Structure 1
Amino acid sequence: MRVARAALVALSASLLGGCVTTPPPPEAFHAALNQEYRLDAGDRLRVTVFEQDSLSAIYAVDKAGYLSLPLIGSVPARGKTPDEVRSAITAALRNGFLRDPDVSVQVEQYRPFFVMGEVATGGQYSYVPGMTVQNAVAIAGGFSPRAEKRTVDITRQVNGQVITGRVVLSDPVLPGDTVTIRERLF
């Protein structure tokens, strides 16, 4: 009887030991939600130089992280806020091109986010401000029959580091995030 009970306890412990609980994501993972938006490759910016129609247009941040504007050339944008880019453009235009440039920079289109794993159609999708994981899954055609539907993994770049965190469906998605839907075990 004792041997059977000891075997049952050992079996229970080994089964419970197989249950892996994922630690919560690092604090910086969710802190990124409250930080000012940082530009990266794939973002499209509407640059308006008032009273200078030839300079006002929509410019894309290239793979190297730069905007290429007439007259002033390349302006670094990766990791900067739209306001920091506006200041850099203003300073470059003031340096020999315009006396008192009045510049506005707005994000016209955010870089895409990605959905992969157990969804109907994984891939790259256009980001819309205020998007949640549930919205992202819906855009990707919904969960597959084998999907784990309670939590998902989001991989995002925070302060130059790539961080993955397990989140619930109501958590926000940011531009550039990769949302991974895992397969359920049972």
Structure 2
Amino acid sequence: MLRYSYLLIYILFAILPIGKANALNYVLSAGDSVLIEVYDEPDLRTRAKIDKSGVISFPFLDDVQVSGKTTEEIEMIIDAGLRGDYLIDPQVSVSIVAYRPFFIHGQVKVPGGYPYQPDLTLDKALALAGGLTNRASKSDWQITRKVNGTSKIINADISTEIQPDDIVKIGQSFF
């Protein structure tokens, strides 16, 4: 039993850094919601949904551009803005409360928009959408993704990673 516990702890520690790395590399955009906290400063706690402008309001700093930045970059911007004039050593934490959605349509049982989750693959997205219909193609799966402002169509399989704002289309089988 003790050996099993050590194995479980080892597996958890092996997995945790991967999830943290993905969260640190995630670039925020319109539709994401963030929670900003400054240690021991409850009046500075701010929860905001990012709109099209990509700007959120934060006490003492007015507007902060957050779209196109990671949570770590936003922490540094807010830290620099508060340091000196307002606080001696601010401890800023920015976390993602809600990710912007991805969309799935075509031959799935429950098409629509679903909240993005880190490490989401097409097989998990299909499960969220209730699975494939009887008429669904087993290979005609496409993802429309915006890359540097232009739409790109990607032919997908079950292991293809889904990103926020992706539009997944499951084609119809002829047989």
Tell me, yes or no, if structure 1 residue 160 matches structure 2 residue 145: no
Contact 1:152 1:180 in 2 (8 A): yes
1:48 paired residue number:
37
Identity among equivalent pairs (%): 39
Checking the alignment, whether the CA contact within 8 Å between 1:156 and 1:176 is kept in structure 2 is yes
Higher Rg of the two aligned structures:
1
Tell me, yes or no, if the aligned pair for 1:150 and 1:168 is still in contact at 8 Å: yes
Report the equivalent of 1:123. Answer: 112
SS at match of 2:105: strand
Q: Quote the offset at 1:151 in angstroms.
A: 4.3
Residue of structure 1 equivalent to 2:8: none
CA root-mean-square deviation: 2.1
Matched-pair contact (CA < 8 Å) for 1:46–1:56: yes
Write the distance in 1 (CA, Å) between the matches of 2:71 and 2:149. Answer: 18
- Cα deviation for residue 111 of structure 1 reads 1.2
SS at match of 1:45: strand
- Structure 1 gap ranges (5+): 1-32
TM-score (ref. length: structure 2): 0.78
Q: Distance in 1 between matches of 2:48 and 2:84?
A: 21
Alignment of 1:103-142 (within 5 A): 103-142=92-131
Q: TM-score, normalised by structure 1?
A: 0.73
Query: 1:67 corresponds to which letter in structure 2?
Result: I
Please report how far the alpha carbon of residue 48 of structure 1 lies from its aligned counterpart in structure 2 after TM superposition: 1.5
What's the CA shift for 1:115? 0.7
* Cα deviations by residue, 1:67-99 (Å, 9 ceiling, x for unpaired): 222222221111111111111112222373323
Distance 1:95 1:184 in 2: 64
- AA at the equivalent of 1:112: P
Equivalent residue number for residue 172 of structure 1: 161
Q: Which has the higher strand share?
A: 2
Does the Cα contact within 8 Å between 1:132 and 1:172 map onto a contact in 2? yes
Which ranges in structure 2 are unaligned for 5 or more consecutive residues?
Answer: 1-21
Superposed, 1:46-125 pairs within 5 Å as 46-94=35-83, 96-125=85-114
Q: Which runs of 4+ in 1 moved over 6 A?
A: none
Partner amino acid, structure 1, of 2:89: D
Structure-to-structure mapping, 1:138-149, within 5 angstroms: 138-149=127-138
